[in-house]
Amino acid sequence: MIYSSLIATLLKFLLTKLALSEGLISDFKENRKIDDINKREASVKKNITIKFVFYFIISTILLIFFWYYISMFCAIYVNTQIHLIKDTLISFVMSFASPFFIYLIPGFFRIPALGGRKIQRRYLYNFSKFLQKILS
């Protein structure tokens, strides 16, 4: 289970970095130099296109591999199909429920940061930002 979680986290990190491009777009918007705007625009479009192409290629390869692996597993171990379906549904529900609780934890520290003494507010808010970075 630990290896599975580590591999899933690594794949999620890789695919998230390839799929999300708001960092490139926000950097483009913040830099307001008119001089080379067309050059920067072409560069940003090229980077986003490359990221999306890699994302779809890697996603397709992984989906084909996982489909093949599950198909072979179910073909060899016919009696475990019911358990596999149950475990898949449990994992699916947990993947939707766990972020709900994980993202609530920094919020528990931000609520007291709104009231209270100034120095205490700053420390609680910074701690909640730290937790947010660690947990996400």
Q: pLDDT in tens for each of the 136 residues of the chain?
A: 788 878 888 888 888 888 888 777 777 777 777 777 778 788 888 988 898 898 889 889 989 998 999 999 989 999 989 998 999 899 888 888 888 888 888 888 888 888 777 777 888 888 888 888 887 6
- Where do the structural domains in the chain lie, given as residue ranges? 2-96, 103-136
3-state secondary structure of 26: helix
Please state, in angstroms and as integers, the Cα–Cα distance from residue 43 to each residue in 24, 29, 50, following that order: 10, 13, 11
Report yes or no: 131 and 105 within 8 Å, Cβ to Cβ. yes
Measured in Å, how far apart are the chain's first and last C-alpha atoms?
A: 20
Phi, psi of 50 (to 5 degrees): -65, -45
